[in-house]
């Protein structure tokens, strides 16, 4: 299935989508609304299948509002640990330019 033609269940409404291209992968951050106007986020990693059939392998995480802060705190702490403790000499800004160009 083509990434631009993703199908979603009829019982959820897409509210917001942010696409991040990252080399051979694409990440989608989607805000969804339930029928009761409750909101949650899905994070999807999409990458081409190992087979040359044009298909994509997708991995999805559902993140519910009660877990937003815990998830963001853990993600920020983990990234901070890698940047400051494991790879302090690495220039992470090098990839920021690539990200900015992908969004345009």
Where residue 101 falls among pLDDT bands split at 50, 70, 90? low
Q: What does 73-100 look like in DSSP terms, one character per residue?
A: HHHHHHHHHIIIII-TT--THHHHHHHH
Q: Which helix (H) or strand (E) holds 26?
A: strand 25-33
Which domains does the chain carry?
A: 3-103 (3.10.450.700)
**Beta bridge mates, 79:** none
Please give the pLDDT value at position 103.
Answer: 52
Q: How big is the chain by its Cα radius of gyration, in Å?
A: 16
33: its two tokens: 């609304």
CA distances to 69, 82, 95 from 63, in Å: 10, 23, 26
Residue 102 pLDDT > 80, yes or no?
A: no
pTM: 0.73
pLDDT digit string, tens, across residues 41-92? 999 999 988 887 889 999 999 999 999 999 999 999 999 999 999 999 999 8
């Amino acid at each position: 299935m083509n990434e631009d033609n993703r199908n979603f269940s009829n019982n959820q409404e897409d509210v917001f989508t942010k696409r991040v291209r990252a080399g051979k992968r694409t990440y989608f951050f989607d805000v969804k609304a339930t029928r009761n106007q409750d909101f949650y986020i899905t994070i999807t990693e999409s990458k081409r299948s190992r087979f040359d059939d044009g298909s994509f392998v997708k991995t999805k995480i559902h993140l519910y509002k009660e877990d937003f802060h815990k998830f963001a705190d853990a993600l920020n702490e983990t990234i901070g640990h890698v940047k400051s403790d494991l790879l302090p000499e690495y220039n992470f800004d090098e990839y920021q330019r690539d990200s900015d160009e992908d969004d345009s």
